[in-house]
């Protein structure tokens, strides 16, 4: 027991030393590094030490970034800070009808500045706004006759959006004058500043109760049929040391960025992030790493920066967890310089500056070489947030590990979630880096003298041991110092210049996903028996195949060119519909099916009801005893 106690104390000390100098890559907890060192001398200390370190970084998720796009209506809603590009919903804090019947509500998105609006989403549907903020997509509009707009006639928008954000020099966002005019005695600037937030006011145009279902059929937080609202935008201003127009400490000069190195430095210094002073960042190194992130990578779908990052951090998420999610976007690690200033080293190969040789440095060597069938996985899949699917979590194409993958055999894949990644090519490059680190051909654990402590600040080292174990290696475990303080051990895997880039044929086509904006319309009714009877138009019909559907019947004089169809009364349980009393003139009747959510089908072709008091049978159908007209 005493021996075990000493080991645990040593582990805690080693973990503390490592934590002060080096954080393992953000994805290391899922890479099988613990199994890597099971057979190595000192493996218990090293693997437990790694567990201590990774456990601090990988606590259970408070909330997925994907959930930030949701609208909620609760007493104390969660608050977010956003960096880079993110899709943000928010909390519904106010909703009321004005004196004209318009419904107004407010969605408070987050506590970050909206630097640039990229796109609006209503109920996860990408929408377009005109210059006045009206949503002009057909699904959110009716025509002048209060029917769903289908491309002809006058389009009438029913939803109008007003978004406001604060600035670095004024924490109070500008008010929405239209909202104040609608509620002059209720919503005043003095009482409702919404300081330090970005919010959207939504105006839902008044409409008759009988027609509400045609346009108010969405899933907003109030449950009245209003749509939920989320904004894809570039959030927060960040200091970029490469830009001479930006002055450190003068936030009014900062600009937005989605560069992973810049986003990480922003989060480290944000008051609601890690809350570190800006003087604690090595900005010279940040500039160096930001240049690497901005390198243009050409793939099968075009050119994009090497590493970009977008994050939405909920207030109850541990900040170390949120920081590790940013690190995952670039396979990065935190490094501290000799002055204690931090910077993010991104995943990028550089020639090692530290060489450890057998004759001078390496005292002992343990190795594990892969055997046929040893690997439990033959590739890696990265789940990322795809803007093409409304920033929903999607799986990348698998990266196949050439060391283990065998075509035609049953292969399994390690799946890693990296929600701060929003690009398929970037996701596949991260998958390759993860795969080669977690399942290499061999792994080594050298024991070296104190010169090995220099590896605390290095990611790559050169090993010269023999003809087999020579070349460049990546440090993927903490550095263990023995009790005497004279020797240290570390775990290494091979690395080469292509670790963080995709070679010819390694990038696979992006998986094809269903269009999330598509809402399928129901099928129109097949036929109905329409006739004159009892001084009105009456119709009988068969029950719809789907019990959730209802039918809508309308009629109009054949000579009426106004297009103002009148509704017939429909009794679905009796499968019967009838009009108001009519005269002897000729009429037309049309009908369609409608879902419970108000989504209509196309109309069945109009049925002609002749002017005669007794309708003439349809030549294409057998005569009916009462002279009725059968459509279909």
Q: What is the pLDDT of residues 48-104, one digit of tens each?
A: 333 333 443 444 445 789 889 999 998 889 999 999 999 999 999 899 999 999 999
Q: Which residue has the tokens 């996903």?
A: 513
Residue 51 CB contacts under 8 Å (≥ 6 apart), including other chains: 34
Contact between 173 and 189 (Cβ < 8 Å):
no
Give the model confidence (pLDDT) of 93-119 as tens digits.
Answer: 899 999 999 999 999 999 999 999 999
Domains and CATH numbers, the chain: 2-59+348-494 (no CATH), 60-317 (no CATH), 529-630 (2.60.40.10)
Q: Which residue has the tokens 């596949």?
A: 428
Give the model confidence (pLDDT) of 347-405 as tens digits.
Answer: 999 999 999 999 899 999 998 886 655 556 788 999 999 999 999 999 999 999 888 87
Among candidate residues 287, 309, 333, 304, the one with its CA nearest the CA of residue 433 = 333
Cα atoms in the 13 Å half-sphere on the side-chain side of 193? 7
pLDDT for 613 beyond 70: no
Helix (H), strand (E) at residue 629: strand 629-630
Give the percent of the chain with pLDDT over 90. Answer: 60
- Give residue 24's pLDDT: 43
- Give residue 483's pLDDT: 84
> Can you read off the two tokens belonging to residue 460?
């790559």
> Can you read off the two tokens belonging to residue 417?
């979630």
Q: Give the Cα separation of 160 and 495 in Å (integer).
A: 55
Contact between 27 and 331 (Cβ < 8 Å):
yes
- Give residue 7's pLDDT: 27
Which SS3 state, helix, strand or coil, does residue 457 take?
helix
Contact between 297 and 349 (Cβ < 8 Å):
no
Task: Assign 3-class secondary structure to 281-337.
Answer: ECHHHHHHHHHHHCCEEEECCEEEECCECEEEEECCCCHHHHHHHHHHCCCCEEEEC
Strands (E), 358-475: 362-369, 379-386, 392-395, 399-400, 414-417, 442-448, 460-464, 470-475
The residues with which 3 forms a beta bridge, in sequence order, are none
Contact between 531 and 543 (Cβ < 8 Å):
no
Among candidate residues 54, 59, 8, the one with its CA nearest the CA of residue 32 = 54
């Amino acid at each position: 027991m005493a021996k075990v106690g000493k080991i645990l104390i040593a582990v805690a000390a080693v973990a503390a030393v490592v934590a002060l100098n080096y954080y393992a890559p953000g994805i290391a907890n899922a890479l099988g590094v613990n199994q890597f060192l099971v057979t190595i001398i000192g493996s218990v200390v090293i693997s437990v030490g790694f567990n201590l370190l990774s456990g601090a970084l990988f606590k259970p998720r408070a909330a997925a970034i994907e959930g930030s796009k949701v609208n909620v209506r609760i007493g104390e809603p969660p608050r977010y800070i956003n960096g880079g590009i993110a899709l943000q919903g928010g909390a519904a804090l106010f909703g009321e009808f004005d004196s004209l019947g318009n419904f107004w509500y407010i969605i408070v998105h987050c506590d970050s500045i909206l630097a640039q609006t990229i796109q609006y989403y209503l109920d996860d549907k990408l929408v377009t706004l005109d210059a006045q903020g009206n949503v002009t997509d057909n699904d959110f509009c009716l025509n002048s006759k209060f029917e769903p707009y289908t491309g002809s006639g006058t389009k009438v928008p029913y939803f109008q959006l007003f978004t406001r954000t604060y600035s670095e020099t004024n924490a109070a966002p500008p008010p929405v004058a239209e909202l104040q005019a609608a509620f002059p005695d209720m919503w005043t600037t003095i009482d409702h500043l919404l300081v330090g937030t970005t919010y959207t006011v939504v105006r839902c145009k008044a409409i008759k109760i009988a027609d509400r279902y045609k346009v108010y059929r969405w899933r907003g937080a109030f449950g009245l049929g209003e749509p939920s609202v989320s904004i894809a935008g570039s959030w927060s201003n960040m200091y970029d040391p490469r830009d001479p127009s930006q002055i450190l400490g003068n936030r009014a000069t900062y600009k937005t960025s989605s560069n992973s190195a810049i986003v990480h430095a922003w989060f480290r210094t944000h008051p609601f992030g890690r809350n570190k002073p800006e003087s604690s960042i090595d900005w010279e190194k940040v500039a160096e790493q930001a240049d690497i992130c901005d390198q243009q990578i050409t793939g099968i779908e075009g050119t994009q920066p090497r590493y970009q990052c977008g994050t939405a951090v909920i207030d109850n998420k541990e900040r170390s967890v949120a920081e590790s999610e940013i690190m995952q976007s670039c396979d990065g690690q935190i490094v501290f310089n000799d002055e204690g200033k931090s910077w993010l080293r991104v995943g990028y190969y550089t020639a090692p500056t530290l060489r450890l040789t057998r004759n001078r440095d390496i005292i002992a060597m343990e190795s594990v070489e892969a055997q046929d069938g040893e690997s439990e996985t033959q590739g890696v899949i990265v789940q990322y947030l795809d803007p093409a699917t409304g920033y929903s979590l999607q799986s990348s194409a698998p990266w196949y590990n050439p060391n283990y993958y065998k075509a035609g055999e049953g292969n399994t894949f390690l799946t890693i979630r990296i929600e701060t990644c929003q690009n398929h090519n970037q996701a596949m490059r991260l998958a390759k880096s993860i795969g080669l680190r977690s399942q290499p051909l061999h792994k080594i654990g050298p024991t070296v003298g104190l010169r090995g402590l220099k590896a605390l600040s290095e990611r790559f080292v050169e090993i010269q041991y023999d003809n087999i174990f020579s070349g460049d290696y990546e440090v993927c475990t903490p550095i263990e110092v023995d009790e005497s303080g004279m020797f240290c051990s570390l775990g290494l895997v091979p690395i080469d210049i292509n670790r963080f880039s995709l070679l010819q044929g390694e990038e696979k086509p992006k998986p094809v996903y269903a269009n999330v904006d598509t809402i399928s319309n129901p099928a129109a009714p097949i036929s109905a028996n329409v006739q004159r009877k009892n001084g009105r138009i009456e119709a009988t019909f068969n029950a719809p195949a789907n019990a959730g559907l209802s039918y809508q019947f309308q009629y109009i004089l054949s000579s009426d060119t106004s297009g103002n169809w009148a509704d017939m009364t429909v009794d679905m349980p009796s499968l019967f519909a009838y009009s108001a009393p009519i005269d002897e003139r000729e009429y037309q009747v049309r009908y369609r099916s409608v879902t419970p959510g108000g989504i209509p089908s196309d109309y069945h072709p109009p049925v002609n009801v002749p002017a005669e008091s007794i309708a003439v049978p349809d030549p294409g159908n057998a005569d009916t005893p009462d002279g009725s007209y059968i459509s279909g």
